[in-house]
Structure 1
Amino acid sequence: MWTFYKQLFLTLCIGLLGALIFQLLHIPMPWLLGAIAAVLCVQLFTKMNLQWHKYFRNIGLIVAGYSIGFAFTKEALQDIQQFLSSIIVLNLIFIVLFFAISYLVATRTELDYSTALTCCVPGGMTQIVAFAEEQGNMNMAVITFYQVLRVLLIVGFVPLIITGTGENIVTVDGTFSWRLLALLVICTLAGWLAEKVRIPTGYMLGPVFLLMGLNIAGVEVPKMPLSYLHIAQLLIGIYIGLLLKKEDLHLSKKHVFYAFLSAGLFIGSAYVLSFVMKHLYDLDFRTGFLSIVPGGLDQMGIIAASVHANVTVVTAFQLFRVLIVSIFLVPFVKVFVKKVKT
């Protein structure tokens, strides 16, 4: 047990060092990207045994959920209504793109189509990997690599793309209060309950729904200090950095190439469609891009909160995608796999 705690502390120090280096180099979102880069490099290129507990990730999600829920005011919810048609259309576009990319991967890499579908599902990485493990006859190394690589590329490149647009980001810091601390404790309970009833990304959406309800009820909610969000980025960044293992890299060059290509096609499509959104709704680029790009709800949510995009719009788009993946895509893949087996 003592060895495990030492490994946890070592992992935290490596992630923190990476964040500080990225901050000195003025790289965007250093607390997230620096932690990811440092932990990923140490894990892949050294023999150090790094450990991290999902509880730390959950703490980061609770803080991110608070920050996102804070923005869900009555006015913001009314503004979301104008995007409903675009939310549906854009998700239909990505479903078509998902099937097209899956077919490309299947034909070019000689994977069976069910495995290719599982590799290319745009979102729901944890759910997809768990589903693949249940099947017992899928290539877990390939599926994990495709899913993890997509998350790493999106989380790594999206902040760089956003900050390269030249749009000004105005930050307003909050202050600590006992009321804020009490709300965070209640948010922790809300996240735990949401996770228990199997709400996707429950530790983030629980606080989001809680604060949304408080805002609608007219309860004054204190703004969170930016330092709390930095801590959340660090905790989540270390978790993401540890997703890719050395054993996941022992794949053919063909699989590595098409893993990068499939992720690039998703990101590139989102980049193009974000300009359409900007034209239709006069929406700032970072909000449009974060809304469309098929990352996870938790990753895009914390990036949106960190770069001060319109988190209500981003969360609405990403939440709808989570529902599409959970209600339509995953069940479709399950049915398809069963038919292939029989």
Structure 2
Amino acid sequence: MPHIPQTAALLVLALFGALIAQATGLPLPFLIGSLLATAPVAIFATNRLPAGYVFPINLRLPFIALIGAVIGAQVTLALLASLHDLLPSLAAMVAFVLLAQGLNYAVFRVIGGYDAPTAFFSGAPGGLIESIAMGEATGAHQPTLIAQQFLRIILVITLVPAGLSLWLGYPVGSAGGLSFNTVPVTWPMYPQAAVILALGLFAGRALSLPAWQLTGPLIVSAGFALMGQPLALPNWLILLAQLVVGASLGMRFAGLDMPTLRRCLWLSLLSLTLMFAIGAALAALLVGPTDQPFKTLFITFAPGGVNEMALIALSLQANPAFVTLHHIFRIMLTVLLLGFIAKRLNKVD
């Protein structure tokens, strides 16, 4: 892993931010606190980092896999038996993707004044990597597109836990002292976790699964759980995963100038307000048909990254297997829509 001293220093800074966030009662302090601590470095102090420095992907990878494994451990036979009950929520997700994409395009095209490709791919409610790649191929303005897509994810993982804390009246996530395990942690689970992560990462990549770093270990861990061997790991590992994921997201702001960031920020807030409104309306309609609480359904429609939303659902004990399944479905739908429209965008101005 290159630039080890710089990465270690960033993680120490991230830990400092996480502890401050925890002391002040912020929700998901190890995720949000680490993000808030490293983002200013990315924006204002990139000259202090080596040229071309990026947060190591190989450091983030095992923690994303770990999140998937812990979620997979919560898959039960009862959940599998209820899959037919997911049809209303999956149909609602189709409506969410279409409405969000259309309204976001209007926000970025009409209000933001972006060109058609930049507006369309900036408004994608999922598929961060795919939207950036397809946007580049159709002539979208890359700095703007990258900023809008990363702001979507970062603002969602910041605003959703904070909003739920205000609504519920108490801090949620790790700030609330929740446990991530439903079975006791034993020493044999550490080698079991190593096997699950290795098999899951190999299978996820070999099968080209969506969000393979998370879904591969999730599926393998679910298999162990269904055979009566659910995985449980200590909470400090999940907090460490939050710390690393938060630090890596904060560093995504590298290279952005403040005028561009301010413009992208207010447009992103407007876009998210619309998507949150759509998600809240659909969540309210689905409480009865799905027998899920509003909190879980709202997180299900929050348009963050699969990895980050899985982590939030896990931290909030909001049926993470249910939430993750729907977010994977959202990403797949969005990518299909992006691919269908991409060939036609060059004809639009």
Structure 1 length-normalised TM = 0.89
Distance 1:255 1:5, change over 3 A: closer
**What letter matches 1:336 in structure 2?**
R
Deviates more, 1:41-50 or 1:92-101: 41-50
The whole-number CA distance in structure 1 between the counterparts of 2:210 and 2:258 is 28
- 1:334 is aligned to 342
- Quick check: 1:296 aligned with 2:311? no
User: Could you tell me how far 1:261 is from its partner in structure 2?
Assistant: 1.0
The whole-number CA distance in structure 2 between the counterparts of 1:307 and 1:252 is 30
Query: Residue 14 of structure 2 contacts residue 37 of structure 2 at CA under 8 Å; is this kept in 1?
Result: yes
The whole-number CA distance in structure 2 between the counterparts of 1:255 and 1:292 is 22
- 1:105 is aligned to 108
Distance 1:230 1:340, change over 3 A: same
1:146-295 paired onto structure 2 within 5 Å:
146-166=148-168, 171=179, 173=181, 174-216=184-226, 218-247=227-256, 249-251=258-260, 255-295=264-304
Distance 1:92 1:260, change over 3 A: same
The whole-number CA distance in structure 2 between the counterparts of 1:243 and 1:130 is 16
User: Could you tell me how far 1:324 is from its partner in structure 2?
Assistant: 0.5
**What letter matches 1:180 in structure 2?**
Y
- 1:48 is aligned to 48
Q: Deviations over 1:30-74 (max 9, x none)?
A: 111111110112322335327420112111111100111011111
Q: Deviations over 1:194-224 (max 9, x none)?
A: 12432221111001111222233x2322322
Query: Residue 19 of structure 1 contacts residue 35 of structure 1 at CA under 8 Å; is this kept in 2?
Result: yes
Distance 1:211 1:252, change over 3 A: closer
Q: Deviations over 1:230-283 (max 9, x none)?
A: 111111111111112242544286554323211222123223432333344442
- 1:13 is aligned to 12
- Quick check: 1:29 aligned with 2:28? yes
Query: Residue 176 of structure 1 contacts residue 225 of structure 1 at CA under 8 Å; is this kept in 2?
Result: no
Q: Which residue of the other structure, out of 75, 83, 86, is the alignment partner of 1:83?
A: 86
The whole-number CA distance in structure 2 between the counterparts of 1:139 and 1:172 is 41
The whole-number CA distance in structure 1 between the counterparts of 2:97 and 2:236 is 35
User: Could you tell me how far 1:146 is from its partner in structure 2?
Assistant: 1.1
Query: Residue 68 of structure 2 contacts residue 217 of structure 2 at CA under 8 Å; is this kept in 1?
Result: yes
User: Could you tell me how far 1:77 is from its partner in structure 2?
Assistant: 2.0
Deviates more, 1:183-192 or 1:227-236: 183-192
Structure 1 residue runs of 5 or longer lacking an equivalent are: none
Aligned residues: 337
Deviates more, 1:166-175 or 1:118-127: 166-175
Structure 2 length-normalised TM = 0.88
The whole-number CA distance in structure 2 between the counterparts of 1:125 and 1:253 is 20
Distance 1:123 1:206, change over 3 A: same
- 2:328 is aligned to 319
Secondary structure of 1:200's counterpart equals: coil
User: Could you tell me how far 1:138 is from its partner in structure 2?
Assistant: 2.0
Query: Residue 192 of structure 1 contacts residue 202 of structure 1 at CA under 8 Å; is this kept in 2?
Result: no
The whole-number CA distance in structure 2 between the counterparts of 1:107 and 1:164 is 33
The whole-number CA distance in structure 2 between the counterparts of 1:134 and 1:315 is 29
Q: Deviations over 1:128-168 (max 9, x none)?
A: 11222344x32111111111111111011111122333288
Secondary structure of 1:239's counterpart equals: helix
Secondary structure of 2:314's counterpart equals: helix
**What letter matches 2:71 in structure 1?**
I
**What letter matches 2:128 in structure 1?**
M
Deviates more, 1:111-120 or 1:278-287: 278-287
**What letter matches 1:138 in structure 2?**
A
Deviates more, 1:329-338 or 1:163-172: 163-172
Structure 2 residue runs of 5 or longer lacking an equivalent are: none
Secondary structure of 1:198's counterpart equals: coil
Distance 1:48 1:185, change over 3 A: farther
Q: Which residue of the other structure, out of 140, 143, 146, is the alignment partner of 1:144?
A: 146
Secondary structure of 1:28's counterpart equals: coil
Query: Residue 117 of structure 2 contacts residue 346 of structure 2 at CA under 8 Å; is this kept in 1?
Result: no
Query: Residue 96 of structure 2 contacts residue 278 of structure 2 at CA under 8 Å; is this kept in 1?
Result: no
The whole-number CA distance in structure 1 between the counterparts of 2:34 and 2:263 is 29
Q: Deviations over 1:93-123 (max 9, x none)?
A: 3312311320232122332222211110001
Larger relative contact order (Cα-Cα within 8 Å, sequence gap ≥ 6): 2
User: Could you tell me how far 1:288 is from its partner in structure 2?
Assistant: 1.1
